[in-house]
């Protein structure tokens, strides 16, 4: 099979509508999904036309057979050829209509599935860091895959069940036209089918909810073990993790077994009850035929219609189960789509054109949303001039990294304000703010893509020369050229095919290419050897000119980049000045340097 190339895929036009679910959380799950379904109304109308037309032809077949048997065979004329040709034509037309119906139906269901998945991803890109602090990635992945698939299956098979109900109604009308008492005998068991279906629904829904949740728990364990495989192996914790996975699988097996048990108790009864109608036809219909009350053709037509009216009840169990699973899944999906980001633009937010880079932290207090009782920054005040390089120094937990996260509004301050060129950053357009403020984190992250694309992530249209220049500045060009495919080398997930120092150099190059006015280095050279670090620092000193830089420092070699050092303690500025000034005037600063947390300046 020939798959489309990447270039061919890029040339195709993929358009995802902006239509979303109904925002009214009080509505039932299906009504909330209705805007997405309504958007596909033309496809559904054409699908319904083909389905109903094909169904009408199919339900008419027993009536034609009745006419053929009663009129052509019973009277002994033997003129059956016209009926045979008629049935053949009906079969061909019904096949074409039902094929078109199923093709369009499943295509539309997959289109809605794609729309839902797009909506979830769009929402995830807008949600604040506080959301990801409290929800595991495995849970999100489960909701974006298995939960959406449950809804897609209902959208695909639900209309088939509705169509089968139409077949039941049409068959019922034809049966009444043949013999009313025999029709009533045939459907006498149907009320019991409805009662059993209602009982099954009441048992299946809570079990479906539990099963979907436990499926997500299992996915989370697998995801964490894949992403944290190096940690698991380094602690020789494979057996413990296998045991944990077994426990999760056991819990999932219990709920799944209970779900299957509920289906096993009700589905056979729901499917078998209509077959009692066949016994009624054979008994009462046979007596009528013996007494010449109805013809043989009518009796055979009734037998065919019993098979048709049993189809809805055979599908009823599956569709009800799928409906309950879709209901449970939709609620889990809505939890994401209804989540509101904590950090958003104000309606009056101002654009940032050419920032100078002056920063002011004014009486800033902050606590993380998941623990508001723990104050990280307490009345934090700091002035940073445009083009100045500041080093934040302090013991672990004093709030250094938190300062770096507040600048690009990964979180909003609890109290006080942060000003950029005199304007509160909450009054600025968020996208502009993050374009001009770039953070190089202490844990380097690369995408499973080529090194070239990783460096050009923030500037996809970058020229070859620009990519090479920043790679050289980050001391990455030399090791990249020694790779088998050079800049086209595809790194593994999270870039783990490279060493920690190599990953950090690529991340530094990526940030330099985006050329932010304000740069935050969150201990970004921690995994680089002394010699390579000194080379990077030599390049950085040149590149940091006319750029406001905030350095989270744990090494004396990093502190040497700064024009001014800020000593933090308990979320406040304890002291500030040059490195030499603090050594002479701050015992706390000298204690930190002598504690082994930093390394000597070369």
Pairing of the two strands 389-393 and 548-552: parallel
Question: Per-residue b/e over 45-56, b at no fewer than 16 CB within 10 Å?
Answer: eebbebbbbbbe
Is there a domain that residue 462 lies in?
A: no
Residues 363 and 288 in one domain: no
Residues 332 and 367 in one domain: no
CA-CA distances (angstroms) from residue 443 to 19, 22, 165, 434, 438? Answer: 37, 39, 58, 19, 15
* Calpha distance 221→522 (Å, rounded): 29
* Calpha distance 566→579 (Å, rounded): 9
Residues 290 and 422 in one domain: no
377 phi/psi in degrees, rounded to 5: -115, 135
Tell me, what's the pLDDT at 251?
A: 83
Residues 399 and 525 in one domain: yes
- Convert 504-570 into a string of H (helix), E (strand) and C (coil): HHHHHHHHHHHCCCEEEEECCCCCCCHHHHHHHHHHHHHHCCCCEEEEECCCHHHHCCCCEEEEEEC
* Calpha distance 598→553 (Å, rounded): 8
* Calpha distance 506→28 (Å, rounded): 49
Residues 414 and 538 in one domain: yes
The number of folded domains in the chain is: 2
Tell me, what's the pLDDT at 331?
A: 84
Q: What is the side-by-side strand order in the sheet with 564-569?
A: 437-440, 518-522, 548-552, 389-393, 564-569, 572-577
Q: Using the 8-state DSSP alphabet, how is residue 340 labeled?
A: P
Is there a domain that residue 582 lies in?
A: yes
Is there a domain that residue 484 lies in?
A: no
Instruction: Read off the pTM.
Output: 0.68
* Calpha distance 400→568 (Å, rounded): 7
Q: What share of the chain is helix, strand, coil (3-state, %, to 5)?
A: 65, 10, 25
Helix extents (H) in 417-499:
430-436, 451-455, 464-473, 477-481
Q: How many CB atoms lie within 10 A of CB 456?
A: 23
Is there a domain that residue 497 lies in?
A: no
Question: CATH number of the domain that 248 lies in?
Answer: 1.20.1560.10
Is there a domain that residue 474 lies in?
A: no
Is there a domain that residue 46 lies in?
A: yes
First to last CA, the chain: 60
pLDDT along the chain (602 residues), means of 10: 44 60 84 86 86 84 79 62 82 88 87 86 84 75 79 82 79 81 77 72 71 74 69 70 82 80 74 70 76 76 74 69 80 86 88 90 89 85 91 86 89 92 92 87 80 87 88 84 87 75 82 85 64 63 75 77 87 88 85 60 34
Question: CATH number of the domain that 368 lies in?
Answer: 3.40.50.300
Residues 85 and 49 in one domain: yes
Residue 546's domain comprises 359-442+517-594
Is there a domain that residue 454 lies in?
A: no
SS3 category, 432: helix
Is there a domain that residue 506 lies in?
A: no
Tell me, what's the pLDDT at 495?
A: 72
Tell me, what's the pLDDT at 542?
A: 58
Whether the CB-CB separation of 342 and 130 falls below 8 Å is answered with: yes
Tell me, what's the pLDDT at 360?
A: 93
CA-CA distances (angstroms) from residue 387 to 128, 516, 544, 546? Answer: 29, 12, 8, 4
Give DSSP secondary structure letters for 220-272.
HHHHHHHHTHHHHHHTT-HHHHHHHHHHHHHHHHHHHHHHHHHHHHHHHHHHH
Residues 131 and 206 in one domain: yes
Tell me, what's the pLDDT at 78?
A: 56
Residues 135 and 96 in one domain: yes
CA-CA distances (angstroms) from residue 52 to 41, 47, 140, 170, 204? Answer: 16, 9, 39, 10, 31
The two three-digit tokens of residue 478, written as one number: 């030399």
* Calpha distance 479→477 (Å, rounded): 6
- Residue keyed to tokens 């139409």: 166
Tell me, what's the pLDDT at 536?
A: 64
């Amino acid at each position: 099979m020939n798959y489309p190339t990447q270039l061919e895929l890029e040339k195709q036009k993929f358009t995802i509508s902006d239509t979303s679910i109904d925002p009214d959380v009080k509505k039932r799950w299906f009504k909330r999904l209705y805007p997405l379904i309504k958007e596909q109304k033309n496809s559904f109308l054409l699908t319904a036309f083909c389905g109903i037309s094909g169904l009408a032809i199919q339900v008419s077949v027993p009536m034609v057979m009745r006419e053929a048997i009663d009129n052509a065979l019973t009277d002994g004329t033997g003129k059956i050829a016209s009926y045979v040709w008629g049935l053949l034509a009906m079969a061909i037309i019904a096949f074409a209509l039902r094929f078109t119906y199923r093709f369009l139906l499943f295509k539309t269901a997959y289109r809605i599935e794609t729309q839902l998945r797009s909506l979830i991803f769009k929402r995830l890109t807008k949600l604040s860091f506080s959301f990801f602090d409290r929800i595991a990635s495995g849970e999100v992945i489960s909701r974006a895959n298995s939960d959406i698939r449950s809804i897609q299956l209902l959208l695909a098979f639900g209309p088939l069940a509705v169509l089968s109900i139409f077949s039941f109604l049409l068959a019922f009308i034809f049966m009444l036209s043949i013999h009313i008492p025999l029709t009533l005998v045939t459907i006498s068991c149907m009320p019991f089918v409805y009662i059993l279906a209602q009982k099954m629904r009441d048992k299946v829904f809570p079990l479906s909810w539990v099963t979907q949740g436990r499926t997500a728990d299992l996915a989370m364990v697998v995801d964490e073990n894949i992403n944290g495989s190096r940690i698991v192996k380094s602690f020789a914790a494979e057996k413990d993790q296998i045991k944990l996975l077994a426990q999760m699988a056991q819990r999932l097996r219990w709920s799944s077994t209970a779900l299957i048990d509920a289906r096993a108790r009700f589905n056979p009864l729901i499917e078998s009850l209509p077959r009692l109608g066949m016994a009624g036809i054979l008994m009462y219909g046979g007596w009528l035929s013996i007494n010449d009350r109805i013809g043989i053709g009518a009796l055979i037509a009734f037998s065919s219609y019993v098979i048709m009216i049993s189809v809805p009840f055979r599908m009823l169990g599956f569709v009800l189960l799928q409906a309950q699973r879709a209901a449970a899944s939709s609620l889990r999906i809505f939890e994401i789509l209804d989540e509101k980001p904590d950090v958003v633009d104000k309606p009056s937010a101002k654009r940032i054109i050419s920032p100078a880079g002056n920063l002011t932290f004014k009486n800033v207090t902050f606590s993380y949303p998941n623990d508001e009782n723990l104050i990280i920054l307490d009345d934090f005040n700091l002035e940073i001039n445009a083009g100045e390089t500041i080093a934040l120094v302090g013991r672990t937990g004093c709030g250094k990294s938190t300062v770096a996260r507040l600048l690009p509004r990964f979180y909003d301050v609890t109290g006080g304000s942060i000003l950029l060129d005199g304007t509160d950053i909450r009054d600025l357009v968020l996208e502009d703010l993050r374009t001009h403020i770039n953070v190089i984190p202490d844990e380097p992250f690369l995408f499973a893509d080529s090194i070239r694309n990783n460096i050009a992530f923030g500037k996809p249209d970058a020229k070859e020369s620009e990519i090479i220049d920043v790679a050289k500045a980050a001391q990455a060009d030399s090791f990249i050229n020694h790779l088998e495919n050079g800049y086209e080398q595809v790194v593994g997930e999270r870039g783990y095919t490279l060493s920690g120092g190599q990953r950090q150099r690529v991340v530094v190059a990526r940030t330099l290419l985006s050329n932010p006015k304000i740069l935050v280095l969150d201990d970004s050279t921690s995994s680089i050897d002394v010699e390579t670090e000194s080379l990077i620092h030599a390049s950085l000193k040149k590149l940091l000119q006319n750029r406001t830089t905030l350095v989270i420092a744990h090494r004396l070699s990093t502190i040497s980049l700064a024009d001014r050092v800020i000593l933090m303690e308990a979320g406040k500025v304890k002291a500030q000045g040059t490195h030499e000034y603090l050594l002479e005037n701050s015992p706390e600063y000298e204690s930190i340097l002598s504690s082994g947390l930093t390394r000597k300046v070369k």
